[in-house]
């Protein structure tokens, strides 16, 4: 199985040994009988493999973890009830008071808010290195560097190989949030990044019907994240949700190709429209990091497009967004259905005005998650919304 499309279907899954069921069964149980006291004791001592309790591990969830580990080229993975639970577990499982976490932004507003909140409460210094550059922000206390493979919402990139090399030389653990790209477009571990995380709620699930997160990497780094996040915080993914992600990932490469095709068409249309001031899409020649995107992304430039209108007050943006018919106004992304949102008042309303300004999250910024509908229909919807509005 060398091709991602094949691995997306088969990795982590095989027909059920007792019934032959091809779809991985939903193992809906809290505990697993261990037979004898001696075997129970051996299981809890970690001396024999096996399931004990679904907060620690569950077969449906384990199949999903194996599939995602395979797609990201990781030794192992651990699934969580949300991307946010994955983020919190990474910090709580790997950092301690006195440590520093450096991030290159912008980040999803909820991630930045969570990192800062945990940092403040638990004595971890959280440093935004976006303006200064990574090298200038690293100190002997830095233990973790955090990046998004495509930033939410302005679609900037970081050179992952550079980030990884700089951190690795100092023994610092790197984390890449690969939610926007998925392993179809970017595989951070191949660039030298230590841990990859996802909000599976987005492209991995793909149908807007399940919330989940995952962390993948080497056993030694994932084990403490699993122990803290599942065993102690109890942020485990439910087996029914794991089933939905297993099913969703089977079509991930096909869906990503459609998202990329639609997003490029939408970005090109917006770029030539007189009401639009700027379009952020890494597949456009005008994107300031187009060359890096060509080098770092494989098979497409993703399904997210952001743009600013010529007039940037909130009422002007509302006039356009409220006219959209095919795009649903909602947060989240990566669904089959196209979505449109205004980050300043939604996804990034959690962070300070100063952080929003620094990240380019202006009042006039619109974020589109381009679904898998026909690109012509999506462009027509945007055209009617923009044409009916005088800049
Ligand atoms: O806890 P979640 O599964 O919602 O995932 C959190 C998360 C982590 N990383 C990235 C890059 C994300 O975009 C998210 C969630 N973002 C949604 C959005 O931007 O629309 C959240 C809606 S408030």
The DSSP secondary structure of 157-212, one letter per residue, reads: ---HHHHHHHHHTTT-EEEEE-TTTHHHH--GGGGT-SEEEEETTTTTT-SS----
Q: Does residue 177 carry a catalytic annotation? A: yes
* Helix axes of 375-387 and 252-271: crossing angle, nearest 10 degrees: 30
Counting ligand 1 atoms within 8 A of each CB, the residue from 80, 82, 83, 331 with the most, and so the one to mutate, is 83
User: How far does the centroid of ligand 1 lie from the alpha carbon of residue 109, in Å?
Assistant: 8
* Nearest-CA residue for atom 23 of ligand 1: 347
Q: What predicted TM-score, i.e. pTM, was given to this entire model?
A: 0.97
What DSSP designation does 302 have?
-
Q: Is the CB of 332 under 6 A from ligand 1?
A: yes
Radius of gyration of the chain (CA): 21
Cβ neighbours for 342, distance < 8 A, ≥ 6 positions apart:
314, 317, 318, 321, 365, 366, 367
Please state the length of the chain: 391
**Domains defined for the chain, CATH in brackets:** 4-249 (3.40.640.10), 252-387 (3.90.1150.10)
pLDDT of residue 390: 60
* Cβ contact 4:71 at 8 Å: yes
| First and final C-alpha spacing in the chain | 52
Count CB atoms within 10 A of the CB of residue 197: 29
Q: Is the CB of 349 under 6 A from ligand 1?
A: no
User: How far does the centroid of ligand 1 lie from the alpha carbon of residue 254, in Å?
Assistant: 22
Q: Does residue 227 carry a catalytic annotation? A: no
Please list the pLDDT of the chain residue by residue as tens digits (391 residues). Answer: 789 999 999 999 999 999 999 999 999 999 999 999 999 999 999 999 999 999 999 999 999 999 999 999 999 999 999 999 999 999 999 999 999 999 999 999 999 999 999 999 999 999 999 999 999 999 999 999 999 999 999 999 999 999 999 999 999 999 999 999 999 999 999 999 999 999 999 999 999 999 999 999 999 999 999 999 999 999 999 999 999 999 999 999 999 999 999 999 999 999 999 999 999 999 999 999 999 999 999 999 999 999 999 988 899 999 999 999 999 999 999 999 999 999 999 998 878 888 888 888 999 999 999 999 999 999 999 999 999 776 5
* Cβ contact 180:159 at 8 Å: no
Cβ neighbours for 335, distance < 8 A, ≥ 6 positions apart:
202, 206, 207, 208, 369, 371
Q: Does residue 67 carry a catalytic annotation? A: no
């Amino acid at each position: 199985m060398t091709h991602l499309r094949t691995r997306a279907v088969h990795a982590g899954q095989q027909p059920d040994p007792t019934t032959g069921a091809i779809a991985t069964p939903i193992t809906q149980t809290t505990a697993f009988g261990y037979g004898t006291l001696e075997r129970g004791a051996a299981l809890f001592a970690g001396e024999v493999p096996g399931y004990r309790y679904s907060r620690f591990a569950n077969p449906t969830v384990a199949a999903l973890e194996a599939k995602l580990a395979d797609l990201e080229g990781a030794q192992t993975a651990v699934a969580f009830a949300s991307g946010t639970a994955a983020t919190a577990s990474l910090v709580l499982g790997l950092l301690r008071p006195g440590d520093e976490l450096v991030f290159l932004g912008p980040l999803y507003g909820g991630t930045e808010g969570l990192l800062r909140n945990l940092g403040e409460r638990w004595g971890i210094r959280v440093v935004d290195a976006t303006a200064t550059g990574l090298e200038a922000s690293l100190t002997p206390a830095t233990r973790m560097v955090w990046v998004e493979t495509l930033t939410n919402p302005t679609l900037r990139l970081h050179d992952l190989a550079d980030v990884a090399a700089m951190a690795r030389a100092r023994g610092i653990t790197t984390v890449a949030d690969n939610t926007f790209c998925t392993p179809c477009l970017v595989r951070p571990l191949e660039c030298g990044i230590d841990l990859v995380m996802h909000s599976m709620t987005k492209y991995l699930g793909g149908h807007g019907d399940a919330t989940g997160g995952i962390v993948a990497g080497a056993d030694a780094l994932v084990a403490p994240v699993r122990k803290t996040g599942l065993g102690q915080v109890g942020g485990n993914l439910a087996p029914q949700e794991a089933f939905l992600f297993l099913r969703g990932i089977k079509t991930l490469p096909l869906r990503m190709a459609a998202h990329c095709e639609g997003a490029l068409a939408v970005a090109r249309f917006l770029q030539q429209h007189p009401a639009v001031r700027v379009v952020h899409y890494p597949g456009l020649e005008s994107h300031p990091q187009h060359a890096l995107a060509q080098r770092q992304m494989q098979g497409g430039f993703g399904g997210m497009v952001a743009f600013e209108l010529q007039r940037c007050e909130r009422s002007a943006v509302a006039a356009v967004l409220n006219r959209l018919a095919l795009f649903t106004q909602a947060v989240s992304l990566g669904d089959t259905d196209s979505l449109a949102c205004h980050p300043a008042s939604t996804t990034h309303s959690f962070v300070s005005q100063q952080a929003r300004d620094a990240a380019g999250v202006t009042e006039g910024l619109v974020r589109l998650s381009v679904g898998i509908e026909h690109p012509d229909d999506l462009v027509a919807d945007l055209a009617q919304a923009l044409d009916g509005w005088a800049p």
